[in-house]
Amino acid sequence: MSIKRLDRLGSVIALALILAPGLLPFALLRPNRIAAPQGVPLWQALPQPGAGLALLALVVLAGLFLWRGAPRLRLLAAALGLVGQGVAIGLAARHLLPPENGYARVSPGAGFWLLLAALGLALADALARERLRPGGRVLALTLALAALALMIGSGLWRDLSVLREAASREAAFVQALQVHAALALSSVAMALMVGLPLGIWAQRRPRLREGLLAGLNMVQTVPSMALFGLMIAPLAWLAASWPGLAALGVAGIGPAPAFLALWIYALLPVVASVLAGLQAVPGAVRAAADGMGMSARQRLWQVELPLALPAILTGLRLVLVQNIGLAVIAGLVGGGGLGVFVFQGLSQTAPDLVMLGALPTVVMALAAAVLLDAGTEWARRGRSAPGEGRGA
């Protein structure tokens, strides 16, 4: 085959698929949850003939991604490869754990994570080449989440250390997941409620716009952990001074400082996206709306905001993904959420506990990004303005 048919990105993916099993451990075996791990390569982590089949599958996938080919074939191969890695790590945990040993732990090794990253990159590249419509991307996300739920629900991963940690803390994990989602979503919703009128106000008053954006930019320069800490003292004073606020849940320690910090961080992206969307509305469109006899309020709600909606949704995507990640820090100020497991794991030198908090956070952020990306494209395709589509 001609070298011109080599796929550059596919070559990197193929190299990772070939080198990862030989250079990095596929699984880590610990005698207990905090002991030093022993790396186990792929051919020892799986029983035969499963190990040989897994290595052969990686070679076939590497050859497929190395050369340019049909995106749909590459998409199917990447998806099957990811499912195969999920099955392999579950079988590895079952194979490596000593019988009747409740203390030993098996967790994914660097080789597994590199393989997962390479196949995920191949999947993302194939999806981009397919140029899926918004509905297709949402369907792909739904299938991915369904496959993940099936893996967990089937018990295939029950011997993995992170699933053992989750099983021993099931009630606490569910509550932390709910609190984490509530903090991220409610802070973004409040930022939209405040940021939308602020963005409209800034667009109509250019002299005051710079001062508003400068003030919001100053907040963004404060490190996230410092901002969470700065919320403790004033909220504690408010709760002590007004018992009614304390009855509503306002306190120096708890969800209140976490929510306030996340809301403050979310304001700038929301205001900036509203402002950018409104400024991008063509003057001719505004003139057409005025010519149709629309009032300023009608023009804003029926013309300008619908046209600005894609930009606003782009800002919401950015801030929601940001706040899902930042909500981890709420664990430091007693706000709950998945950060509780992350910081407990760090303090106890228990990496599996860290993963119990980190992995759901990553999944939530990716799902939010895909859904809002699809919503942005739907809004961009469906927007219309007075006079559009009419002949001259």
pLDDT tens column, 208-225 = 888 888 888 888 888 877
Handedness of CA 98, 99, 102, 108 (dihedral sign): positive
Residues 128 and 201 in one domain: no
> Is residue 387 in some structural domain?
no
Residues 69 and 207 in one domain: no
CA distances from residue 70 to 40, 78, 125, 312, 322 in whole angstroms, order as listed: 35, 12, 12, 35, 35
Query: Of the residues 102, 131, 156, which one is the last residue of a structural domain?
Result: 156
pLDDT at site 160 = 92
Would you mind telling me the total number of residues written for the chain in this entry?
A: 392
Residues 132 and 194 in one domain: no
Q: Per the structure, how many domains does the chain have? A: 2
DSSP conformational letter for 302: I
Of 5, 16, 125, 22, the residue nearest 77 (C-alpha):
125
> Is residue 389 in some structural domain?
no
Of 338, 323, 70, 39, the residue nearest 178 (C-alpha):
338
Q: Return the structure tokens found at 288.
A: 């057409």
> Is residue 334 in some structural domain?
yes
Q: Return the structure tokens found at 160.
A: 């993995």
Residues 108 and 204 in one domain: no
Q: From CA 112, how far away is CA 45, in angstroms rounded?
A: 11
Q: From CA 267, how far away is CA 249, in angstroms rounded?
A: 22
What are phi and psi for residue 67, nearest 5 degrees? Answer: -105, 150
Spatial CB neighbours of 165, under 8 Å, sequence gap ≥ 6: 33, 341, 350, 352, 353, 356
Residues of the chain with pLDDT under 50: 1, 384-392
> Is residue 162 in some structural domain?
no
Residues 21 and 141 in one domain: yes
| CATH assignment at residue 291 | 1.10.3720.10
Query: Of the residues 97, 132, 156, which one is the last residue of a structural domain?
Result: 156
pLDDT at site 382 = 67
Query: Of the residues 102, 121, 156, which one is the last residue of a structural domain?
Result: 156
Q: Return the SS3 of 223.
A: coil
Residues 359 and 271 in one domain: yes
> Is residue 135 in some structural domain?
yes
pTM for the full predicted model: 0.85
Instruction: Provide the strand spans (E) within the chain.
Output: 27-30, 38-40, 105-108
Q: From CA 345, how far away is CA 339, in angstroms rounded?
A: 10
- Which ranges constitute the DSSP H helices of 205-338? 206-220, 224-230, 232-241, 243-247, 255-279, 283-291, 296-299, 305-326
Answer for the pair 107, 340: CB distance below 8 angstroms, yes or no: no
CA distances from residue 180 to 17, 139, 275, 325 in whole angstroms, order as listed: 35, 25, 29, 10
